[in-house]
Structure 1
Amino acid sequence: MSRAELADFLRRRREALRPDQLPATAVHPPGRRARRTPGLRREEVATLAGVSTSYYERLEQARAPHPSPQVIAALGTALRLTDAEREHLARLAGQAPPAPETGPAPVPAFARELLDRLGPVPAYLTDERQDIVAWNNAAADLITDFGSLSAGERNAVRLSIRLNGTLCSAADGSQGEYARQTAAQLRAASARYPAERVLGELVNEFAAHSPDFAASWRNHEVRPIPTLRKHLHHPELGALELDCQTLLLPGTDLRMVIYTARPGSPSAAALARLAARDT
């Protein structure tokens, strides 16, 4: 159980809730005491969760004993956590065993076969440390020659920094979305691998590179991985607008990242030209 991380997560989620988001009976009347902090008061969260105020205060001060699964479930409801946030909270409270530190797992044969079957569709596999562990020819042509990189460089976080934003330029104008998504993924991975040194190094590197990542990391953002529409600049094809989808492979910790273009779009035609080059 990481008491400090648990305390920080609870405090930030409490401060993110507004009193007007909850039923009037769940919060103290505005005239009772002026609100000098954002979000709900500690006693309000304690009441909603059915625990004593003193116990909840000790949780936020990293002084409380190990909370029970029932308390964690009640806090998740009181703080209106998403499913992903509830799972993260349980891990911080020590109610989900951390993944074993066994080093990189081998890529299953079915995953490599799936990459090959995608043919002209660029795709690669990442593990929870964001290491790119397998890829198809289309991905190498679109992004970079992964095989020419060292093992440390073959990492989606480090590669996005090295390529000056090529992998994290969101086409919808939300330039920080990739950074926030990455922060959420690394948060979840850090809870599963609390002793993993590489994860800490990645967090420090990306936080120094991206204010959006740093802010998302501080706020303990944990959420499902969305589909992103990105702008990529290819040295031969020029500007491309692509949809980036991330799929979790069942039974593994691997994620498949797939780049597609809208049918009939200039970007789809560009990807077709790129695929024809390898035939």
Structure 2
Amino acid sequence: MNRRTREGLGGFLRSRRERITPADVGLPAGPRRRTPGLRREEVAQLAFISTEYYTRLEQARAHHPSREVLTQLARALRLSAPERDYLHHLAGAPPLPPPGPSREVRQSIVDLLRRLPSAAAIVLSATYEVIAWNDLATALMEDFSALSRRDRNLLRRAFLGPLRDGRRLYGVSDADAFTRTSAQHLRAAAARYPTDPEVTGLVKELLAGSEEFTRIWAAHDVAARPSLCTTFEHPLVGLISVNCDTLDISDRDQRVIIYTAPPGSPSEEALRLLSVVGTQRMGVPG
């Protein structure tokens, strides 16, 4: 780290320290506190490092703090995820990739799904597990709440699931495009999470059980164009042609998939009927 970088790190630590009150971390304020926020010795205590070393960091006199120290400082200073990443980059130790794909869906995204009564919407993890959905998606596809985590994975469904009328994935018209795209996305995810046992286990399972997946995987492609429209063959209301829009949630490595029918179309009427029928038809096989 050069002098300018060390000064940037020191200034950032100081600014984060000064915004935290003792009460925020369960410390008494004391009668003679002159400095805003926490004292240096308090941050050092919370981070389990010496006051002398923390002071040298703020004064740009310390070189290359370890990842362990950076992690402890981030926790002590209550840094947000972007702030943690910034701290690591300032210190010349870029953050390590997360151990595995996130399955936690932000409440605002869950609320968004509920506010789309005329659209079927799901959230997919980086491994294509359905981790959130709205009522119309349940009526259009299947009752995900009745499935195990394993069975909610659309990659397993597409490559290893039971066939219905020669198709595995809800009778969609673009099943071939979906299998190709999903396999390519999984390859990219496997590079991002090389040590995650769920990711590596899913890849091994698909390679062992599907010749089609093995063929796509062997091509080493990672770029795929998403489908913009598809047709579901629904067992109760027949064919439903929908637009398919994908919203990336980059900070969680997740995707929101939204299915909408063209206004005034028979498919819009079919979706409206499904929204009324709801989960009453869940005995029908998917």
Q: What one-letter code is carried by the residue in structure 1 that aligns with 2:115?
A: R
Which amino acid in 2 is paired with 1:233? E
Is residue 145 from structure 1 mapped to residue 147 from structure 2 by the alignment?
no
- Give the letter for the 1:258 counterpart: I
For the Cα contact (< 8 Å) 1:166–1:231, is it kept in 2? no
Bigger Cα Rg: 2
Is the 1:190–1:199 Cα contact (8 Å) retained in structure 2?
yes
Which residue number in structure 2 is paired with residue 120 of structure 1?
118
Aligned to 1:154, which of 152, 170, 173? 152
Q: Identity percentage over the alignment?
A: 35
How many Å separate the matches in 1 of 2:125 and 2:146? 19
1:219 maps to which residue?
219
Aligned CA distance change for structure 1 residues 103 and 188 (closer, same or farther; 3 Å): closer
Counterpart in the other structure of 1:64: none
Structure 2 CA distance for aligned equivalents of residues 170 and 276 of structure 1:
22
* Cross-structure match for 2:169: 167
AA paired with 1:244?
Answer: C
Contact 2:119 2:258 (C-alpha < 8 Å) held by counterparts: yes
Structure 1 CA distance, aligned partners of 2:253 and 2:97? 10
- Shift of the 178–142 alpha-carbon distance from structure 1 to 2, 3 Å rule, reads same
CA contact (8 A) 1:122 1:258 kept: yes
Contact kept, 8 Å, 2:113 with 2:134, in 1: the verdict is yes
CA change 1:206–1:232 in 2 (3 A) is farther
Cα distance in structure 2, aligned partners of 1:148 and 1:168: 16
Other-structure match for 1:234:
234
How many angstroms does 1:128 deviate by?
0.7
Q: Distance in 2 between matches of 1:170 and 1:179?
A: 11
Unaligned 5+ residue runs, structure 1? 1-95
CA contact (8 A) 2:123 2:254 kept: yes
Distance in 2 between the 1:121 and 1:166 partners? 23
CA distance in 1 between partners of 2:148 and 2:213 (Å): 25
Taking structure 1 as reference, are residues 238 and 273 closer, same or farther at Cα in structure 2, changes over 3 Å only? Answer: same
Partner of 2:260: 260
- 2:187 aligned with 1:178, yes or no? no
Equivalent residue number for residue 202 of structure 2: 202
Give the Cα–Cα distance (whole angstroms) in 2 for the partners of residues 260 and 216 of structure 1.
Answer: 29
How much does 1:111 deviate? 0.9
Q: Using the alignment, how far apart are the partners of 1:212 and 1:262 within structure 2?
A: 33
Change (3 A) 1:271 1:210: farther
Counterpart position of 1:246: 246
CA spacing shift, 1:248–1:232, aligned 2, 3 Å = same
Q: Tell me: CA distance 1:205–1:225, structure 2 relative to 1, closer, same or farther (3 Å).
A: farther
Does the CA-based 8 Å contact 1:98-1:193 persist in structure 2?
A: no
- Superposition map of 1:33-112 within 5 A: 99-101=97-99, 104-112=102-110
Cα offsets for 1:165-193 (capped at 9, x unmatched): 3537663xx65211110111101100000
Residues 243, 261 of structure 1: 8 Å contact kept:
yes
Mind listing any 5+ residue stretches in structure 2 that lack a counterpart?
Answer: 1-93, 280-286
- Separation of aligned partners in 2, 1:201 and 1:257: 25
User: Equivalents in 2 of 1:150, 1:102: separation in Å?
Assistant: 19
Report the AA paired with residue 198 of structure 1. E
CA shift, 1:163, in A, is: 5.3
Q: CA deviation at 1:244?
A: 2.6
Once the two structures are superposed, residues 185-242 of structure 1 have per-residue CA deviations (whole angstroms, 9 ceiling, x without a partner) of 1011000000122223333444456544322211111114412433322221122223
> 1:116 touches 1:136 (CA, 8 Å); kept in 2?
yes
User: Following the alignment from structure 2 to structure 1, what is the Cα–Cα distance between the partners of residues 170 and 147?
Assistant: 19
Aligned length, in residue pairs: 182
Q: How far off its partner does 1:145 sit?
A: 0.4
